[in-house]
Amino acid sequence: MKNESFAQEFLELDGLPALAEAAKELSGNALAYCLAALDKAVSYDIGWEAISDEVVERLLGLIRIEQNGARRTNVCVCVCVAMLDLLNHGAEDTDADAILMRKIINSVLRFAAKFISKNNKTFEMVVKALETNGVKDGIDPFEPILSCLSFSDLDTQTNALVLINAMIGGAATAGLPPPPALMKLKPTLQKHIDIKHEDFRRQLYIYQQRDLQRYDTLRAQVHPLIHHSLTHSMHAAYRSTDTARLQPYNKSNPDHEAQLMLLWKMVFPDVQLESRVSEQWKKMGFQGTDPATDFRGMGLLGLQNLMYFAETYPEIFRKIVKEQSSRSDLVR
């Protein structure tokens, strides 16, 4: 498949469906070679329409996670869980079975990410396959993919994150919310923040961007004025923190005020704000009764950061606010 002219002719002769069907029956080294070829073949954008739900389910089913947390692949190559533990804990990958298993996992991850990008149908096929396999194994559908982020092998971590980003992007293209399990990875990814692997860092950046886009969409749905602001005058500000910092908070601007009111609803959804200028703001940590005065230093960026924190880490934010509210020097 590395030879483009050969690959073109092979695929025009319905080679991709043949490879996919073969992957349903093969095992061991034959399966690994088949998957590597399938990964390359799907990149040429010829014949992928013939890949069936059954094939996708089989391929994604090659990654398994035991209920006790030990990882394995269901590839019929007589590889025990200990071999994946060898990979997972950073030991030398000298065992042939462990190396084979890594090749299979990475080929499946790469294939699935490319397949999802084809159209909405392929995205739905992958999600359906994960859900079906999850029911069979009694686990969360996305757990096998997420478990790959814990491997010591950087290629596996990177390919897993590529697939996760592809799934989030596929959901957005289909007009669907991203799978919740894929949007709760900050604690896991924060452990990898110092990794120098260029491809992994690129995927980490893409994940962060998608998370911010999801947040912007949420705000647009909550208040139409915010959507107007984001799609016009504030769009450039979000791409440049310096620009946002230099944009002062203006309480005469209805967009700014709408965001401030949304912040209150995020933090105190069941508490009515008595008035725009109120002692209640002190419960959130503002110095005075008018929070606008606290944004003089950071401008609109200060408010945006608070909103992001409140939406992304609600429990931590509310805990901080609760501690602030218990201060004896606050005027009730």
| pLDDT tens-digit readout, 95-123 | 787 888 889 999 999 999 999 988 889 99
- What does the pLDDT read at residue 101? 87
Average pLDDT over residues 242-268: 83
pLDDT at 237 over 50: no
Residue 246 backbone dihedrals phi, psi, to 5 degrees: -80, -15
Residue 53, CA distances (Å) to 10, 11, 14, 172, 280 in order: 22, 20, 17, 22, 55
- What does the pLDDT read at residue 221? 55
- Residue 174 has a CB neighbour count (10 Å cut-off) of 14
Q: Which of 171, 203, 231 is the last residue of a domain?
A: 171
Domain that holds residue 281: 243-325
Cα end-to-end distance, the chain, whole Å: 72
In a domain, 315, yes or no: yes
Q: Specify whether 157 is located in the same domain as 263.
A: no
Q: Specify whether 19 is located in the same domain as 167.
A: yes
CB 126 within 8 A of CB 51: no
Average pLDDT over residues 13-40: 84
pLDDT band at 146 (very low <50, low <70, confident <90, very high): very high
Which residue would you say has higher pLDDT here, 218 or 73? 218
Per-residue burial over 146-163, b = 16 or more CB atoms within 10 Å of its CB, e = otherwise = bbbbebebebbbbbbbbb
Whichever domain contains 113, its CATH number is: 1.25.10.10
Separation of alpha carbons 282 and 287, rounded Å: 6
- What does the pLDDT read at residue 215? 60
Of 43, 162, 144, 28, nearest to 97 (Cα)?
28
Look up the pTM and report it: 0.59
pLDDT at 152 over 70: yes
Separation of alpha carbons 293 and 57, rounded Å: 56
pLDDT band at 223 (very low <50, low <70, confident <90, very high): low
- What does the pLDDT read at residue 99? 85
- In this predicted model, what pLDDT tens digit does every residue of 64-95 receive, in sequence order? 643 333 444 443 333 333 334 434 444 444 57
- What does the pLDDT read at residue 128? 94
pLDDT band at 129 (very low <50, low <70, confident <90, very high): very high
Indicate the DSSP class of residue 62: T
Q: Specify whether 138 is located in the same domain as 280.
A: no
